[in-house]
Amino acid sequence: MAVMITDLCINCDSCVDECPATAIVGADDSPLENAEFTYVKPEKCIECVDSSVPKCFDACPTEGAIVWDMPYTAEFNTYYMDGNDNGTYKIRIHKKKGIFSPEAQPRPFRDTIDMNDRASHTPLDF
Ligand code: SF4
Ligand code: SF4
């Protein structure tokens, strides 16, 4: 990922159209079953590496609604695949290419974000 949206989200969907990677979908379009909140697809999020402030964070009016998860890279393949099994994520499966796992399709990530902050999903300021 990537960015993760927490249960503090008020589903305003202000972030959806701001994402340059079309990684964000409203709850009604979430791939998760019985989704209550706006959802970020970790297999698409590029962490806005070319922007000083992530676009979704910039658009969000709700403190703590947007936090960080681990980089979507091969090193965290098991983490994301476990998340897929426990319902945290639902990673896209391509008919021919298979699942868009971190190992198969790693995404760019912001190396300035501390791994401990990612692991604890600490809200960050920019
Ligand atoms: S960090 Fe950027 S690419 Fe990732 S979900 Fe937010 S706006 Fe989209
Ligand atoms: S902008 Fe913030 S509060 Fe609104 S849908 Fe996105 S994450 Fe939720």
Our answer on whether the CB atom of 25 is closer than 6 Å to any ligand 1 atom is no
Fold of 3-119: Alpha-Beta Plaits (3.30.70)
- Tell me the ligand closest to 124's alpha carbon: 1
Q: Among 7, 36, 38, 58, which is best to mutate for testing ligand 2, by the most ligand atoms less than 8 A from CB?
A: 38
Distances (CA, A) of 52 to 40, 57, 58, 114: 19, 11, 10, 16
- The pLDDT confidence band at residue 66, using thresholds 50, 70 and 90, is very high
pLDDT tens profile 30-45: 999 999 999 999 999 9
**CA 24 to CA 19: how far, in whole Å?**
7
Q: Mean of the per-residue pLDDT values for the chain?
A: 95
Q: Give me the residue spans of the domains in the chain.
A: 3-119
Structure tokens at 121: 């999903």
Share of the chain above pLDDT 90, in %: 94
pTM beyond cutoff 0.75: yes
